[in-house]
Amino acid sequence: MIDLDLCYLSATRALDLFRARELSPVDLLLEQIKRAEAVEPVVNALAYTFFDEALDAARKAEARYMKTDGRLRKLEGLTLAVKEDTAVKGRPRTFGSLIFKNNIADHTNPSVERLMRSGAIVHALTTCPEFVWPWTCTSNLHGVTRNPWNTEITSGASSGGAAAASASGTTTLATGSDSAGSIRMPAAMCGIAGYKAPYGRNPGSPEVNMDPFFHIGPMTRTSSEAALMQNVMSGLHKRDHSTLAQRLTLPATFPDVSGMKIAWSMDLGVYEVSRGVQENTRAVLAMLRDAGALVEEIETPWAKLAKANVGMWGGHIYGDEFSDAVDNHPDLVCEYTRTFDQENRTITPREFHACMQAIGQTWAEFGPQLARYDAFLCPTVGSTEIAADVHDWVDPITVDGVEHDV
């Protein structure tokens, strides 16, 4: 019998029970291991597991809680599942590709290192699609990751394994990374909290921290847990020149939304949004109004320009990785990798320069809008009915029965 209450126990509550000696990190991990053994054959969120080593670490954490000197770290004894493309020294780092199935990380990502030094126990690495650009979590290496609430639909991606593991109760904490929705989309699909920290807040590995849209961040079941992780991860780091000197500490709880000015858009004027997502969004807006927030729909003319250029940015920044893979290992790559390469191989420096200008123009229009409000709200995904085995850039996406090329 699996104790689901333990599997889904919040990080903050677990820490309270650890400190009170009413729960052991060992017992929590053992329940999550049993949960993984039960759900993983279907959900497929964990690419690699290190349960024996994790149990050893949990026993050491248990011993620390039994001492009376009070020397406990902030995340002492909590389980942490790390997205498989994020480096953990000595562990696999394959980027979801058969090409790198034997690759072992030679360093640990600075943000993950901070979590580990704060007592978090890495017991698993989570699945991701090949080269972490698609938004459904499928690959030739890891197979299909499914949504634990409805295994016919996708968990989202590229941090799909992290979201599915969190929603399955097989980990307490998880990390994701995000350039164009890779934390936010799977968090929305799996009903968890995902936080894409602003550029410069959380340190990253050298190969990605030059991209101002790429961020590593927490994925948890509640916002208070995400804040707990974020406060450990953030801050200036000597290995990442882009990190900000001024450190921002997030509160575990926020005051009510009464009096807040919230702008919103249902579709940014450029996206198809399903009836179900629209209904859910309007329900959230109604709740905010009832709670005293001032809610106002706004026009988003800048979104058309942003949408037209987002693919070009990603294609230019990361396109060489795809091209090298297709040229040198054509028999190993996923079909969506070949399609991405075909669409982006011919991007010119002139086109990329125009893309950079478009980014500046987009912010010049959107920034003043944000300055007038406390928050901007819009749906994260256009539909929650995307099949788990859809291949991005290859298969069409269906919204309310209508197919759309992407």
**182 noted as active-site residue:** yes
**89 noted as active-site residue:** no
Of 111, 155, 158, 166, the active-site residue reads 158
> How many other C-beta atoms are found inside a 10 Å radius of the C-beta of residue 222?
15
> For the chain, how long is the longest CA-to-CA vector?
64
Dihedral of the alpha carbons of 223, 229, 231, 232, in degrees to the nearest 10: 180
Of 97, 139, 182, 223, the active-site residue reads 182
CA dist 87 and 295 (Å) reads 41
CA–CA–CA angle 404, 187, 23 (5° rounding): 160
Q: Could you tell me the two tokens for 114?
A: 């901070």
Of 83, 179, 223, 224, the active-site residue reads 83
CA dist 130 and 94 (Å) reads 9
**323 noted as active-site residue:** no
Question: Is 345:319 a contact under the CB 8 Å cutoff?
Answer: yes
Catalytic site positions: 83, 158, 182
